[in-house]
Structure 1
Amino acid sequence: MLKIAVVDDEKHALERFETVAGEMESISICGLFDDHEEFLSYVKKEQMDIVFLDIEMPGTNGMELAEELLNWKPELGIVFVTAYNQYAVEAFELNAVDYILKPITKARLEKTLSRIVIRKPLQETTVKKAFIQCFKRFECRIDGEVCSLQNNSKVKELLAFLVDRGGASATWEQITECLWQDADYEKAHNNLYITTYRLRKWLTEIGLSHIFECKRNNYRVIPSAFDCDLYEMQQAEKIRNLERLNSFYTGEYLEEEGYEWAYPKQAEWARKMQKYGIL
């Protein structure tokens, strides 16, 4: 049985959810909350499988609240609930986080629950150590096997951007200026939310949710949680270990990805490799 919680500032919406969900034997409602602070206090102490979040609530934003939740419990299934059919609906429907329009119906709720049940076995709770490659191509490997991101180009680029920063936090403005420089403010902001959710879902599915962190709209990776050729080469350069530099240099920095923001570092490493006689 799935344990779920619902957060919505509208009491009538909570009552409707309780009525609809009360007809379903596969779920158990562990809490209905019209105050997000009360919910945050609850979720820190209790276990649950799914949280249904209203997007627009006084004093908070459901997307921001979801990010905070997933920092504590990356295995949570987050479902957005809203009365507004904005252009992001289609994107959310296609990605990890479900998106339901009010009023909720039993059929739509069953569809959401079936998706989460199907995904649940894919989630990995064992902490794994990954190797992230940045030279020549950007890849993430576990036990030598490549974890494919071929159909998620912006998720891949976001992860590469954060790895490039070596653990330093990036604000959403810094990220969107590099990844969506031609998009307007609202679209860039929505693109980032969608992409961070997709990244978090992918990392959770392959058992690497612990390498990604978001706090107060600042995003970063945790370098100590994975191995990386970039970090190995930076360390090798500090101690002038040319043999180690040569062993990790498989091609130019992010050579095959074509990320404009990476060109300065790509040129810098090319100059260094020429200086050390490796190129």
Structure 2
Amino acid sequence: MFIGICDDDNIMRERIERVCKDVTKKYNEETIIKKYKDGQEITDQNIDILILDIEMPMVGGIAVKERLENAKSNTVIIFATSHEEMMAQAFGVNVIGFVTKKYIEDQLPVVLERALKIVRGTVLIEGIDSRNIEYIKSEHIYCNLYLTDGQEFLLRESMKALEDRLEAVGFIKIFRGCLVNMEQVEEMKNGKVYMHGGTVLQISSRLKASVEKKYTSFCIENARFC
């Protein structure tokens, strides 16, 4: 993971770096954090996440964003600014959020987690990589996570909260109390989901059409045969 921080204020760069280190330390992967004093210094083509000041002396954040867009870069951009009136100019294809410098310690962790989810294609649920979850079922006030290695993990969190966290990484609700990881689906047919681990789950008749449509889209986007 390569995170860039671009701001002409050294103190702000240090504050942002501390937040980045705190958020990324729970992920079991190497994270490189590189700091830039101005937009003209950004020449790296492989930055995963760029936390970018809008106004800088030489080359500002909006110019950097436009340059990355023109280069068809996949860099995910978070703008950090004291000039909220400039946000309208800063929207872009890869811009996923804005944070106010005054509240950087409160706002940045939330947006950074969203960026990490996009870049990594996964989220952590109580330290469990979502890619290792086959499906989830609600059990009264708990949710039971069924893992790809056959283990189970009981979690005190609502199904709605888990659905909100996992939708962006390929999980889909097939009935009111069940989410499945589409990456772990062997096939869908006759209103049923056949998981790689051998489990067969029934799709709600009310959700059948939308589930099949979303799964077909998932297969197309991920170059899979469904």
Choose between structure 1 and 2 for higher RCO, CA contacts under 8 A separated by at least 6 residues: 1
User: So what's the TM-score if we normalise by structure 2?
Assistant: 0.44
User: So what's the TM-score if we normalise by structure 1?
Assistant: 0.36
Structure with the higher helix share, 1 or 2: 1
Structure with the higher strand share, 1 or 2: 2
